[in-house]
Amino acid sequence: MIRHLFKLIWNRKRSNFLLITEIFFCFLVLFAVLSLIVYNVRNYNKPLGFEHENVWLLSMRPDTDSTALNRQTLEQIMQRAKGFQEIESMALTNSNAPFAFSQMNNQLSYGEKMIMANEYLVQDDFDKVMRMQVSHGRWFGQQDNASHHYPIVINRAMQQQLFEGEDPLGKLLHRNDSSNYQVVGVVEHYRPSSEYTAEEPGFFNRIQLPRDEKDFYGELLIKVKPGMGVEFEEKMVKELSGIGKGWTMEVTTLEKMRQNKAKVAKVPMIALTIICVFLILNVALGLFGVLWYNISRRNSEIGLRRAVGAASSQVYRQFIGEVLVLATFGLVLGVAFAIQFPLLQVFEVESTVYLIALGIAIGLIYLLAIGCAFYPSRQAAAIHPAMALHEE
Amino acid sequence: MITLKNIEKVYQTKTIETVALHNVNLHIPKGEFVSVMGPSGCGKSTLLNIMGLLDEPTNGIVEIDGLPISRYKDKELAHIRNQKLGFVFQSYHLINDLSVLDNVELPLLYRTGVSAAETRRLALTALEKVGLSARTKHYPTQLSGGQRQRVAIARALIGQPEIILADEPTGNLDSVMGEEIMNILLNLNRHDGTTIVMVTHDENMAQKTERLIRFFDGQQVSDAKTTAFDYQKV
């Protein structure tokens, strides 16, 4: 019977061409949207590598260009901030704080290998503020003051790309400006961009205020005790503004920043999903209409099949089967195109993402086909054979 | 072979009740070639549909091979149609998107345990019987009316049914083609012993069969052996 169905659809390929094309394009759009969704969902389920609850970001903008003066004020501000009992810990960072919209990267080399990695400039207490877990080695601190190299903590993604099976601890990495970095620790994960972004190679570089005399860091990450809210925020900003007169100070929570970042990832995903749903609805209505029309056109054939021995359930299965065969023709074309994505690793996305999307898209197209064929096929099965034959 | 007892068929709509058949009693023994005649709307096709298990009588009993079919469900009726009955229609009812060979193979698609090779062999034999072995790859639209009807007969034959029900098989054909089709049916009856019930408007064709039943207004008005009754069966 399957051979018969394929033969029937193949012989009707001209009249089914548009339907097959429609299924083909529907599959491609579905595949694209699902790839994006699967990519985002998989990333969402991966650990971020830090805890952002009760962490605030205090952004400070001095009113003068004098770094020396600004550094002096900054140290006073930090000294005062440490005095707040409501604050558990804090650490300065550069502008690419977690969930911020800025990024900084550097090219590092190890032997023959080179890597472009995100650089996060942070103070020693960053691991306490963000509850970072060092899986190998240690976080940098006072013990590194005497070191001739910049101590860095790398993430696992960077370790895998640069060191493969080698132990990275103690290894020296070089930058274009001939600075040397020494790996002192490894963290499993660190994905500060957003929950929906894939992990990228990255390393933490140490802010050492006495050494980095010429630099000014205006972002302070503050871990507050649970339950701290607007009242404490106002009190803290008021007091700190008293020290940094004329400075602009702005406090935001990492939770707010996370939500803003999530929106950026979600909006295109939702927009594409809505477009995709409309397209699928359109295809479904088209499929339903064509099937309905086909059945009314094929009354005589239905009558004949019943006369030569088809039970109504077999007529039902035949029409469902025909739609599945039609979908298969469209899917064969679609899969031939879509399979190139995992094979060529387009957009450097894991093959698994494409393969999952491919599987779900195939399943959805078949479900859509069955859904659309269900009612018309039932109608076909209910046609009275004597009436159907008489209509001819 | 086929027995109808007190058959009544009433078509009912909200406002109108139409009696298509009234108190029909018939017995068609195995191997008989019966023609059914009557004016349009007298219930001939309804009778054939009831005999062919395509329609149910409002009242009465239909027996095929002594088995009352009223208690059978749709699936079992389909099985009986597939195993015991062959249909030939005035308008052929061929599927235009399938080749002659595929059209003929159709009934065996619904029969379990027949291999594709066996189906193909039986289809070729059936087409040879109707003289169309040279047209297996043609499509119905490439054939003349007579050839199409021969394909339809081959399709009815492939399952080697004991009964063929033909609804005006020569109705759409000219006299020469009609004659050809009639000869094929007569041969099937004489050589293979197939029981044939044929509805026709053509008195000449009817006179070539063994028995002629006339209907008028849903009622059986005559049932008699024809002048061809004494033809020699081979």
Nearest CA distance, B151 vs chain A (angstrom): 14
Q: For strand A248-253 and strand B85-89, is the pairing parallel, antiparallel, or unpaired?
A: unpaired
- Pick from B46, B91, B109: which is nearest to A4 by CB? B109
pLDDT of residue B233: 42
Answer yes or no: do B74 and A311 touch at CB < 8 A.
yes
The answer on A310 and A255 residing in a single domain is no
Mutate to test the interface with B, among A7, A17, A300, A308 (most CBs of B within 10 A): A308
Residue A239, in any domain of the structure: yes
B51 neighbors B2 (Cβ within 8 angstroms): yes
Give me the residues of A, 311-330, that contact B with CB < 8 A: 311-314
pLDDT digits (tens, 9 = 90+) for A131-173: 999 999 999 999 999 888 999 999 999 999 999 889 999 999 9
- Quick check: A308 and B52 CB within 8 A? no
Which chain A residues are within 8 Å of B89, Cβ to Cβ? 304, 389, 392
Binned at pLDDT 50, 70 and 90, residue B95 comes out as very high
- A126 in Cβ contact with A52 (< 8 Å): no
Residues of B in contact with A1 (CB under 8 A): 109
Domain count of the fold of chain A:
2
Question: What angle in degrees, to the nearest 10, is found between the helix axes of A13-44 and A351-382?
Answer: 140
Determine whether the interchain pair A384/B55 forms a contact, defined as Cβ–Cβ distance below 8 Å. yes
Look up residue B44 and give its two tokens.
């001939």
What does the pLDDT look like over B175-229, one tens digit per residue? 888 888 899 899 889 988 999 999 999 999 999 999 999 999 999 999 988 876 5
For residues A360 and A242, membership in a common domain is answered with no
- B156 touches B87 (CB < 8 A): yes
The CA distance from A308 to A310, in Å, is 6
Residue A26 in any domain: the answer is yes
Six-digit token string for B138: 């043609």
Rounded to 5 degrees, φ, ψ at A203 are -145, 150
The pLDDT tens digits for A286-331 are: 888 888 888 888 888 999 999 999 999 999 999 999 999 999 999 9
Residue-range domain boundaries for chain B: 2-224
Residues A131 and A245 in one domain: yes
- Per-residue burial over A136-172, b = 16 or more CB atoms within 10 Å of its CB, e = otherwise: bbebbeeebeeeeebbbbbbbbbbebbbeeeebbebe
Give B-chain residues touching A303 at CB under 8 angstroms: 54, 93
Q: Given CB atoms, is A267 within the 8 Å cutoff of chain B? A: no
- Does B232 have pLDDT greater than 70? no
Please state whether B135 falls in left (phi above 0), alpha (psi between -120 and 50) or beta: alpha
Tell me, yes or no, whether A50 lies in a domain.
Answer: no
Q: State whether residue A104 sits within 8 Å of chain B by CB.
A: no
Q: Are residues A248 and A273 in the same domain?
A: no
Q: In angstroms, what separates the C-alpha of B229 from chain A's closest C-alpha?
A: 30
Q: Please, what CATH class does the domain formed by B2-224 belong to?
A: alpha beta
Q: What number of residues does chain A have? A: 392
How far apart CA B52 and CA B74 sit, in angstroms, is 13
For residue A250, CA distances in Å to A219, A230, A307, A380 come to 10, 13, 82, 69
What is chain B's mean pLDDT, rounded?
89
Residue in A with minimal Cα distance to B98: A8
**pLDDT value at residue A360:** 97
**DSSP alpha helix (H) spans, B52-196:** 74-84, 100-109, 116-129, 145-157, 175-192
Query: What's the pLDDT score for residue B230?
Result: 55
Q: What pLDDT is recorded for position B234?
A: 34
A 10 A CB-CB count for A204 gives 25
Question: A381: nearest CA in chain B?
Answer: B74
Residue A341 lies in a domain: yes
pLDDT, tens digit (0-9, with 9 covering 90-100), for A74-125: 999 999 999 999 999 999 999 889 999 999 999 999 988 999 999 999 999 9
Question: Residue B52: which pLDDT band, with cuts at 50, 70 and 90?
Answer: very high
Rounded to an integer, the average pLDDT of A342-351 is 88
Considering the domain architecture, whether residues A80 and A36 belong to the same structural domain is answered as no
Same domain? For A359 and A244 the reply is no
Last residue of a domain, one of A234, A259, A284: A259
Query: Between chains, do A389 and B89 touch, taking CB under 8 Å as contact?
Result: yes
| Residue A391 confidence (pLDDT) | 65
What angle, 0 to 180 degrees and rounded to 10, lies between the N-to-C axes of helices B74-84 and A312-338?
90
| Three-state secondary structure string covering A220-265 | EEEEECCCCCHHHHHHHHHHHHHHCCCCEEEEEEHHHHHHHHHHHH
How is residue B163 written in tokens? Answer: 């009964």
State whether A65 and A18 are in the same domain: no
Strands A87-93 and A219-224: antiparallel
Residues belonging to chain B with any Cβ–Cβ distance to chain A shorter than 8 Å: 45-46, 49, 52, 54-55, 74-75, 77-79, 81-83, 87, 89, 91, 93, 95, 97-98, 102, 106-107, 109-111, 116, 155, 159
Which of B11, B50, B54, B87 is the best substitution to test chain A (most A C-beta atoms within 10 A)? Answer: B54
Say if the Cβ atoms of B74 and A385 lie within 8 Å: no
The answer to whether residues A79 and A224 belong to one domain is yes
Run of H or E residues at A61: strand A55-61
What is the ipTM metric for this complex?
Answer: 0.89
Question: CB A312 to CB B74 under 8 A?
Answer: yes
Token pair of A89, please? 């810990």
Answer left, alpha or beta for residue A66, where phi above 0 means left and psi between -120 and 50 means alpha: beta
Please tell me which of the candidates A7, A312, A392 has its beta carbon nearest to residue B93. A392
Q: What share of chain B in percent tops pLDDT 90? A: 61
Q: Is residue A179 assigned to a domain?
A: yes
Percent of chain A with pLDDT over 70: 99
Residue-level pLDDT at A211: 78
**Phi, psi (rounded to 5 degrees) for A183:** -75, 125
Specify the pLDDT at position A392. Answer: 54
Domain boundary among A259, A293, A322: A259
Distance from C-alpha of B48 to C-alpha of B37, rounded to nearest angstrom = 12
Domain boundary among A238, A259, A280: A259
pLDDT tier, A386 (very low <50, low <70, confident <90, very high otherwise): confident
Contact A308 B97 (CB under 8 A): no
pLDDT of A178 > 80? The answer is no
- Do A187 and A299 fall within a single domain? no
pLDDT of residue A87: 96
A327 and A372 assigned to the same domain? yes
> Cα–Cα distance between A205 and A208 in angstroms, integer?
9
| Cβ–Cβ contact A382 with B under 8 A | no
CA distance to partner chain A, nearest, from residue B54 (Å): 5
Is B107–A384 a contact, with Cβ atoms under 8 angstroms apart? no
Is A213 a member of any domain? yes
A199 and A311 share one domain: no
> Under a CB-based contact definition with an 8 Å cutoff, are residues B33 and B198 in contact?
yes
Q: Are residues A130 and A246 in the same domain?
A: yes
For residues A172 and A151, give the distance between their C-alpha atoms in angstroms, rounded to a whole number.
9
CB contact (8 A) between residue A309 and residue B89: no
pLDDT single digits (tens) A48-66: 999 999 999 999 999 888 8
What does the mean pLDDT of chain A come to? 91
- pLDDT score of B229: 56
Contact residues for B77 (Cβ-Cβ < 8 A; gap 6+):
A311, B53, B69
Q: Which two tokens stand for residue A151?
A: 């101590």
Structural domain including A121 reads: 55-259
Residue in the structure block whose two tokens are 């059914």: B36
